[in-house]
Amino acid sequence: MTILNLDANQLIIFYYVAREESVSLAAEKLCLTQPTITYHLKALEKYAGVKLFNIKKQRFCLTEAGKGLYKYSKAAWSQLNSADTYLHMLKETYICIGVSPLFHNIVTPVLTRMSKLHPEVNLQIVSTVTNKILEGVSDLEINLGIVLRTDYSDHNVKVQEISGKEKLVFVASPDSPIVKKPRVEWSDLENSMYIVGPQDSLVRSIITDKLKAAGVAKSPRFAVETLNVDCGKIFAQEGNGVGLWYIKDVEAEILAGKLKVLPLPEDIYVAVDMIISRDLDTIPAIMSELFSQIKNEFCKPSI
């Protein structure tokens, strides 16, 4: 058997420095000191016999030789991460699940039941915007994501549909003047304040796109930014803005008369997908079971 002279750790350190264009950022990501990073870079350049980086305004820029090596270092990093993830999943003791805040409340009961059925499995739940879940799955930091359908072309993910048609509704406090109207036009929302997620939230984009398509000239005004749906609903109930949420997330408040659905000219539907890393050749049994249970939960009727 041939033993490689190339130090795999040096290749991974090279990858991080090239990706971040910074020794300090690479050191932070790898939990190493900057002198250690510099030492390994010099050792790799000595082994290669060529310069791999040029330093321009404190940025580490790849030379032509460095660019050639980068694609191999990226592939090596991806394969090592996949192997590490695979070994963890063989034990099935830890699964990190990323969930879009819109669907956090519908997915949580499934995870609670799964935790009771499989006490040996440590489930970690990350509730954040779809783009961050995509990045986490691509980087193998999140094992499974439940997200609003979006453009997946720039990410290393496999996609399975959970539901092709889930309803979102605009809601507001029963005391808000807008809910008194028998029919609400998109133009009636021109001066509304919205309770939404952060700048990269897909729900925020849906609101902006809907108003623009309806010919509303004003850009929407966002009163409150929060990823916490329950927190957002409290703001809406107090009359501090209009929210766009998954109907199953607000049905209890609607039935109790705490929130009212705005009767807009058209309903809003979104698709929901499960995503995993494309580097996973097989899906562990526990993740397949999770997918099945979550899909069944979405099939339950709403009001």
Residues 89-164+271-299: name the CATH superfamily.
Periplasmic binding protein-like II (3.40.190.10)
- Residue span(s) of the chain under CATH 1.10.10.10 come to 8-75
* CA 301 distance to own-chain centroid: 26
Per-residue pLDDT, averaged over 21-35, amounts to 91
**Above 90 in pLDDT, residue 245?**
yes
Give me the torsion for CA of 96, 99, 101, 105, rounded to 10°. -90
- Percent pLDDT > 90 in the chain is 48
pLDDT-derived band of residue 92, with 50, 70 and 90 as boundaries? low
List pLDDT tens digits, range 213-241: 888 878 888 888 888 889 999 999 999 99
Task: Return the amino acid letter for 207.
Answer: I
Taking the CA atoms of the chain, what radius of gyration do you get in angstroms?
A: 24
pLDDT recorded at residue 139: 86
**Above 50 in pLDDT, residue 1?**
no
- Residue span(s) of the chain under CATH 3.40.190.10 come to 89-164+271-299
Comparing C-alpha atoms, which of 89, 250, 56 is closest to residue 168? Answer: 250
Q: Are 260 and 171 contacting, i.e. CB atoms less than 8 angstroms apart?
A: yes
Per-residue pLDDT, averaged over 239-251, amounts to 92
DSSP element (H, E) containing 77: helix 64-91
pLDDT-derived band of residue 160, with 50, 70 and 90 as boundaries? very high
List pLDDT tens digits, range 183-211: 888 888 888 899 988 888 888 888 888 88
pLDDT-derived band of residue 2, with 50, 70 and 90 as boundaries? low
**Contacts of the segment 152-158: beta carbons below 8 A, 24+ positions apart:** 152/275, 156/78, 156/277, 156/278, 156/279, 157/275, 157/276, 157/277, 157/278, 158/275, 158/276, 158/277, 158/278, 158/280
**Above 80 in pLDDT, residue 86?**
no
Task: Answer with the residue of higher pLDDT: 92 or 248.
Answer: 248
Q: Is 53 helix (H, G, I), strand (E, B) or coil?
A: strand
Residue corresponding to tokens 């029963």: 174
- Residue span(s) of the chain under CATH 3.40.190.290 come to 165-269
pLDDT recorded at residue 119: 83
pLDDT recorded at residue 191: 85
pLDDT recorded at residue 171: 94
Enter the CATH code of domain 8-75.
1.10.10.10
Question: CATH topology for 165-269?
Answer: D-Maltodextrin-Binding Protein; domain 2 (3.40.190)
**Above 50 in pLDDT, residue 249?**
yes
Q: What's the pTM value of the predicted model, to 2 decimals?
A: 0.67
pLDDT recorded at residue 130: 92
